[in-house]
Every structure is written in structure tokens, then in C-alpha cells.
Amino acid sequence: MSYSAPNDSGSLYPDAPAAMRVTNLSFSYGTRLVLEGVTMPITQKHVTAIIGPSGCGKSTFIKSLNRIGELETQVQVKGKVEFFGQDIYSPKVNINRLRRQIGMVFQKPNPFTMSIYDNVAYGVRVSGSLPKRALDEVVESALVGAALWDEVKDYLSKSALGLSGGQQQRLCIARALAIKPKVLLMDEPCSALDPIATRKIEELIHSLRSELTIAIVTHNMQQAARISDYTAFFSTDESQIGQMVEFGTTTQIFKEAIDTRTQDYVEGRFG
Amino acid sequence: MQTTSETNLSLAEDLQADLPIKRQLFSYGMTAIALLLTALALLPLFSILFSIVQQGLPQLSWQTFTTLPSPTGSVGEPDGFGNAIIGTAVMVGMASLISIPVGIMTAIFLAEFSQGSAIAGFVRFVVTILSGVPSIVVGVFAYGVIVLATKEFSALAGSFALAVVMLPIVVLSTESALLLVPTAQKLASAGLGASRFQTTFRVVLASALPGIMTGILLAIARAAGETAPLIFTALFSTSWFDNLLSPTSSLSVLIYNYISLKVLLKNIIWLGQRLWCCSV
Amino acid sequence: MSDSSELKIDITTPDGAELDRGFTGLVKGFALCTVFLLFWMTWVILGAAIPAIQTFGLGFFLSQDWDVGALIFGALPYGYGTLMTSIIALVIGVPIAIAVALVTSETFLPIWVRSPLAALVELIAAIPSVIIGLWGFFVLIPFIDPVQLWIFKVLGWIPLFGTEPTVGQGSIFVAGVILAIMILPTIATISRDVLIAIPTELRSASRALGSTHWETLFRVVLPTAAPGILGAITLGLGRAMGETMAVTLVIGNSPQFTVSLLNLGATIPSVLANQFAEALDTLHIGALMYLALALFGLTLLVNIAAVMIVKTLEQR
């Protein structure tokens, strides 16, 4: 594992502190080790991209950051994931409160089978009730934030399933934004979308960056190069266990990577 | 950095706080209720199995399978239900002979020859509806077709009713077994020049056979346990199976009759008590 | 050109074309036989019911006298019994079935407990109904009798519970309880399949927004599964209405009409089971056929509704 740039006091963004800091993280599903020894920061109010060939554990990694991976199976975690200095795997942490702070957008758009309005209001309603007017405001600002408001403002009570794939994905972003998370995790958010919808999501990520810390998994290298400030390259070793190969500013990773595997990957020689 | 450590402290408090008591109660309460209701659902099953084993096992002997029921009131004579076993076997066997070929053919039509046509949709719809017809109504149908025509309760009428009960089960389970055969196999067979008839018999039926057998066994089990279609078609008999056109005993009807007798007895006792009370 | 003529390749009449056509016709014929069966059934039952339909008309269902000797027949007690036992079955059975579906599809229990549990619940459906009736008569009735007495003491002022239960003979209420047990596997198994088919992404999305497992179930999973569960309940209702033996053995088989659920009663299937074998008079047989026709029609409607619900679900 090699570092092309110092973590926080990197030459490009000297003042940016880390919103999350991962130290020597290993992750197993049951007894099967899938990810080993990851150390990297997620820098505040920047976009961090995680790239790598399929099966390298990048999706597992991002799911470990809001502890959503443990929904499906028994998992074992070693190492440390800190969120503003709080160890998120500490037994004292309430998992539901944690997930409200760290939002997530998934691979396939997954709106609930309810109206557009109810989708966005969902997170707020779960944690308690707001007066109608306040809720309206939350929904509107979330939809505006996700660049969807103009398209749906007249159809808020229509089913979310009637939206196009790209609109659905932006709705899911709005749904995550509505509870004002500090970090937004995105797990290949454009993999099910066409180029035009992908473009819109990328523009959206760009505009959210000034307010929000974003970590995004992508298999599309051009996308990582376009939208991210930092990039982590993940790969598998001989025993098929995922690991982080290299972390640095996006420019460094794409232009002057130290590890040959990173160079090979970004130049399209494998993966 | 003062401000950061303060936000960190409040963040720590937020992350480590418990959920509101209402939400916690909802979580734990619902889990408890769901588990409790599930346990409740299984209670009858265990009670049924327990009662059958506890009451039935001591009575069990070879003789019960090979002898006739003893006349009411007799003591010391061998008591069994051999005739009911044979009656059930004969009627289920007859019903299988009719329903299995017809059912498999219908399923082959649905799965292999219909190519999603409207007529196949209709056939499937009718079969689904047929599977939902109460078995007592099937009994009424068999009564209307055979008993009213022959003026005789008979094993034939019972078999007919059981065949109608079995048919939709055979069709639906066979069709789903046939649909599990990968299209690639059918295409491979057709690609080698086999006709549809050959493909169906040599490839599809052969590889779906285990699934079809399971479906047939289910249908047979269901028919063997049916009572409602038999009580007024095959009726009952205390002697050995004789011929297809006379009343025939079956296990399920035997059970029903025994309890009915007991109910009748209880009714008489109860009525007697009432009369006695009134006269006093 | 010369090559093909020498090789004599003929692709116009493949081997077995006649066989294929004949076989296609054969399976189609069998399929149509199956369809014909449903119409034949309708025809036979309708035909035999005609004497009663002509004599009693639709008033049959509102009249409460059933006197075989005087050849006066009215279906109200049986219609009422069928309706009430089915309602009781749904009221008791549906919540339990949904709980079972959730417990066997969600992660409250480890998988090695969940799967056998689901199999056990399905096993209930495999027990012949006469066996359940046998158990109902010897085990369930003595167990429920004190409960019924208690209901009568506490709620006896309500007409629905306004008669003293007959100890040891069952009642409409007991029949409803036994039907609840019998429709439980149907509803639970289908609902479980529906729940399992709901994409995990929806659960993940809800959990990622900080909701708990049960909040996710109630706000996202169950609403999404609602049409499928409704279909399952409708199928269960169809089973409840037509179930015969278990009900016959625990309902007491009384043709007297009373509103009280604690009283002995009868359902359409139970009266068919009790009287058909002894029916001799054409009008008596006709009245029973009329009852069977009504039951047939009702279950047909309920089952068609269930199929429709499932179909719209598949299209979505």
C-alpha cells in the first residue's frame, strides 16, 4: 500500500480536515475475509472516489461506512472507522442515529412505492413528526438540492415509480438529503443510468460538494476523474481479498500513480 | 479547533443516545408479538401430532390393518379397518388413472404447445379456478353425474370425485415443473432436428420427471385425505370392497362416521339430561 | 445447383410432421377437456338445483326454516354460519399468518430456525381436514369451552354472544377458530413468498435513512407487499368458505337460526355433508343443490378476485 499524498495536509487542499477516517479496516462476511487493511480519510466537503476492478471490495467498503452491510449477513469488522472522531463500530453507537448522519445512495434507483413527496419526507417522518408547513419546506429544499424540483413540483403526489431512471436516482438523492446528513455515500449511483442521466447526476455531485462530504464508488474511471478530488484505488491480491492499493488526489492517481497496478488500471490495461 | 471538539462532543451524544422510548417499545414489542403469534400458530400442529401419536399408537396392531370393523357392542372380536384401507387405495388408484394422464397432457399443452396464446391463458385460468372449488362441491358434482344416474352410491362416483379434486393439482404442479426445464435444452434439441413431440418426450419430460413425481405424490396425498367428496358418493360400507358399483368404505369417511356417532350419543345424553331436568 | 440436386436435401417435409400435428391436437384436446369440466360442473349442479330455484326463488337465502319432513327449505342459518365462521377465521388467522410470514422471511431468527419453521407451518396444510376435525372435537372443544363460557359471562349482553354455549358440542365460534388454523398456512406461505420477493434495495434504502427494522417493515415492506398479501387473504377466504369436514365436526350442526356465535350452528358445506347421503326427495336434493350452487358461485367469485389481484401484481 502506498501513499502518493499526505492525508489531510495534502498539497492541493491543505485546510480540509477528514469527516471520516478509516484505519486498518478489515471486513469479513461470516468467515470469508473480503477486505483487508484499508487506511484512508474521507475529506470534508470534498468528493472522494473509490475505483477498482469488480470484486475488489469497493462496494463492501462503502457499505461499511454507514454499517448498512451488516443488514444482509453476519459481518466481522476489525480496525477503526471514525466519523468526526467517533468510532462508529463502538457498541455505544446507536446504528439508526448513525445512519441518519451518513446518508446513502444505492446502485439501482430504489424509490419506495409511494408518492414523490412521501419518498422525500420518509426520513423525517420516521424520526418524529413535523408540522405540515415545515415538512413541505424540507421536501422542497431537498428536491431543489437534488436538482429535481422543477421537474416534479407539480406532481408531488404522483407515484415515484412513474419517474424515469435518472429522475428516480435524483429522487433517492433528495430523499437522503432531506435528513441533512453530514456525509453522503454513493454506491455506483450511475451504473443503471444512460449517459444523459449520468451527466445530470455528475453535475449534481459537483454542486453538492461545497456543502457536503461525498464518497462515491464508481467503476467508471472517467467519472472518477471528472468529479472527484481524491481517489482511492482498490484491487484484489492473489487470494482474492480486496485491499486498497493507493490513495491520493485524483490528479496524482491518474497522472503520476506510484504503484504499477494503479498505473495499469487507470490506463485501461486491466479491469 | 475549540468549535470542532464541541461539535464532536454533541455528535457523540447524538450518536450514543438511545432512540425515543416510543420507537424502542415499538421495535421490541413488535418482535415479541410476532414471535408469540408464530409460536401460537405452531401450537395446534404439535397438539394434533401429539394427540394422534398418544391416542393412536397404543391401538395399533397388525390386526387393525387386516380385519373388518367389529360389530357395535361386540367384545373381544378383532376390530380393524382393513376394508377402509383397500377402499381408499382402490378409489385413489382409479382417480389417479384418470387425472394423471389428463393432467400431464394439459400441462404439456400449457407449458410447451401454447406459446402464450389466449387459449392457454384461459385454460390456465380455469384450472386455477378449478383448484379453488371446494371439495364438497366436487362431491355434489359427482353425486349429480353418477349417483343420481346410477341410483347407487359407488366407488366409481367416489373415484370420479377424487379425480376432479386431483386434476388441477396435477396440472399446476406439472406445468411449473415443465417450465423449470431451461429453454436452452429445448432449443438444443430442436437445433438437432428433433420434432416438438420428440423434444417434449425425450428432453423436457425426462428432465422434469422428479418435479412431476412430487406433484403427483402431493395430489395422491391430498386425495387420500379427502372426506367431503366421498361421504355422499362412495358412502360407506362395513364389508370388504366388492365392486366399483357398490358403496365402499374409506379411511377418512370411517373417521368421520366414528366421530359423528359419538356426537350423536352426546346429543342424546344431553337431551336426556334436559328432559330429566324439565320433568323434575 | 448441381450439388444440391445430387445430395437430395429435402427440408420441406421434416420427419414426424404428422406426428407433431397430431400430438399438438391431442394435448390441446386434453386441455379443453379440463376446461370443459368446470362448465360441466356448473351445468350439472344448476340443473339439479332448478326444482328448488323455481320453488323458493331468491327468498331461499332469507328464509330460516329448514324442515325436511314438510319440504320447506330456507338457507339463512347456513349462509349466516358460512359468513360468520369465515369472518372469525380471517380476524384470528390473518394477523397470525402475517406474523408467521414476517418471522419466516425476516432476520429475527437465524436461518436454521426460520426454514424449518416455514416448513412446519406448511405441514398444517397437509393434514387431512377430517383429522383436524377429529382433533377439534376431542381437544379443541374442551379447551375452548371455558373461554366461551367466560365470553358469555362478560359479553353476554351483546346479541353476538347472547346464548349460553353448549359444553362439548362446539359452536360457530369454535368452527371459526378451526378455520383460522386451516387457512393460516395458505395465507402465511403466499405472504412469505411475496415478502421475500420484495427487493432488498428498498429495505436498505429505508435502513440507510435511520429507520429501525420494524419501522421499515410497517412503512415500506408491508405497504409494498399489500396487494400480494391481499391476494393471499382472498385465497384463504375461499378455502374457509368451502372447508367442510373440520367445520362439520365442531359446529354442532343445528339448523336453528340464532345470531349468537356461541350457539350451535351450521354452514353450507356442513349441511351438504350431513344431509346429502340421506336426501331422497327431489325437492330436498334440489335445495341442497341450490346451496351447493350458491357456495360454488361464491367461492368462484372469491377465487377469481384472488387471481385478478395476483395478475395485476405481476403486471406491475
Per-residue pLDDT of chain B (280 residues; tens, 9 = 90+): 344 455 566 788 888 888 888 899 999 999 999 999 999 999 999 999 998 888 877 777 777 777 777 766 666 666 778 888 899 999 999 999 999 999 999 999 998 887 778 888 899 999 999 999 999 999 999 999 999 899 889 999 999 999 999 999 999 999 999 999 888 888 888 888 777 788 888 888 888 999 999 999 999 999 999 999 999 898 888 888 878 888 888 888 888 888 777 666 666 666 666 666 666 5
Asked if residue A203 is part of any domain, the answer here is yes
Superfamily of domain C55-315: MetI-like (1.10.3720.10)
pLDDT value at residue C98: 97
Q: A113–C209: do the CB atoms touch at under 8 Å?
A: no
B14 interfacial to chain A (CB closer than 8 Å):
yes
The C-alpha cell of B159 is what? 373415484
Q: What is the pLDDT of residues C125-140, one digit of tens each?
A: 989 999 999 899 989 9
Cβ C75 vs Cβ C61: under 8 Å: yes
* Nearest C-alpha in A relative to C316: A161
* Nearest C-alpha in B relative to A99: B15
pLDDT category of residue C316 using cuts at 50, 70 and 90: low
The beta-carbon neighbor of A110 closest among C202, C210, C212 is C202
Cβ A71 vs Cβ C203: under 8 Å: yes
C261: exposed, middle or buried (Cβ count in 10 Å: 0-12, 13-18, 19+):
buried
Q: Where are the beta strands (DSSP E) in chain B?
A: none
Contacts of C315 in chain A (CB under 8 A): none
State how far residue B120 is from chain C, nearest Cα, in angstroms: 9
Q: Which residues of C85-117 are buried (b: 16+ CB within 10 A; e: fewer)?
A: bbebbbebbbebbbbbbbbbbbebeeeeebeeb
The beta-carbon neighbor of C96 closest among B37, B127, B135 is B37
Mean pLDDT, chain C, whole residue set:
90
Asked if residue A150 is part of any domain, the answer here is no
Question: Which residues form the domain of A56?
Answer: 2-108+184-266
Contacts of B172 in chain C (CB under 8 A): none
Contacts of B7 in chain A (CB under 8 A): 84
Domain ranges for chain C: 55-315
B97 interfacial to chain A (CB closer than 8 Å):
no
The C-alpha cell of B52 is what? 394422534
Exposure on the CB side of residue B95, measured as CA atoms within 13 A: 34
In total, the C-beta contacts within 8 angstroms joining chain B to chain C are 250
C81-105: average pLDDT: 96
Contacts of A68 in chain C (CB under 8 A): 204, 207-208
CATH 2.40.50.140 fits B82-250, yes or no: no
* Nearest C-alpha in B relative to C47: B144
Asked if residue A121 is part of any domain, the answer here is no
Neighbours of B139 (CB within 10 A): 33
Q: A96–B19: do the CB atoms touch at under 8 Å?
A: yes
B8 interfacial to chain A (CB closer than 8 Å):
yes
Q: B18–A96: do the CB atoms touch at under 8 Å?
A: no
The C-alpha cell of A269 is what? 490495461
State how far residue C128 is from chain B, nearest Cα, in angstroms: 5
Rounded to two decimals, the ipTM of the complex is 0.90
Q: Which residues of A touch C (CB under 8 A)?
A: 66, 68, 71-72, 96-100, 103-104, 106-108, 110, 112-114, 122-123, 125-127, 172, 175-176, 179
The beta-carbon neighbor of B17 closest among A17, A88, A94 is A94
Does A27 score more than 80 pLDDT?
yes
Q: C204–A179: do the CB atoms touch at under 8 Å?
A: no
pLDDT value at residue B35: 96
Contacts of A17 in chain B (CB under 8 A): 4
B3 interfacial to chain A (CB closer than 8 Å):
no
Q: C224–A97: do the CB atoms touch at under 8 Å?
A: no
Q: A66–C208: do the CB atoms touch at under 8 Å?
A: yes
The beta-carbon neighbor of B129 closest among C109, C217, C304 is C304
The C-alpha cell of A84 is what? 468526526
Domain ranges for chain B: 82-250
At residue A154, the 3 state secondary structure works out as coil
In total, the C-beta contacts within 8 angstroms joining chain A to chain B are 33
The beta-carbon neighbor of B12 closest among A86, A96, A128 is A86
The conformational region for residue B83 under phi > 0 = left, psi -120 to 50 = alpha, else beta, is alpha
Does C68 score more than 70 pLDDT?
yes
Least confident of B259-263, C122-126, C166-170: B259-263
* Nearest C-alpha in B relative to A96: B19
Q: B15–A85: do the CB atoms touch at under 8 Å?
A: no
The C-alpha cell of C226 is what? 399489500
Asked if residue A164 is part of any domain, the answer here is no
Cα–Cα distance list, A11 to A6, A7, C48 (Å): 8, 9, 95
pLDDT category of residue A198 using cuts at 50, 70 and 90: very high
Number of domains in chain A: 1
Asked if residue A131 is part of any domain, the answer here is no
CATH of the domain at A198: 3.40.50.300
Bridge pairing between strands A18-29 and C66-67: unpaired
Q: C209–A99: do the CB atoms touch at under 8 Å?
A: yes
C277-290: average pLDDT: 90
Does A4 score more than 80 pLDDT?
no
Contacts of B138 in chain C (CB under 8 A): 41
Q: B167–C138: do the CB atoms touch at under 8 Å?
A: no
Least confident of A223-227, B71-75, C33-37, C299-303: B71-75
Exposure on the CB side of residue B3, measured as CA atoms within 13 A: 0
A29-44: average pLDDT: 90
pLDDT value at residue B244: 81
Non-local CB neighbours of C298 within 8 Å, separated by 6+ positions: C241
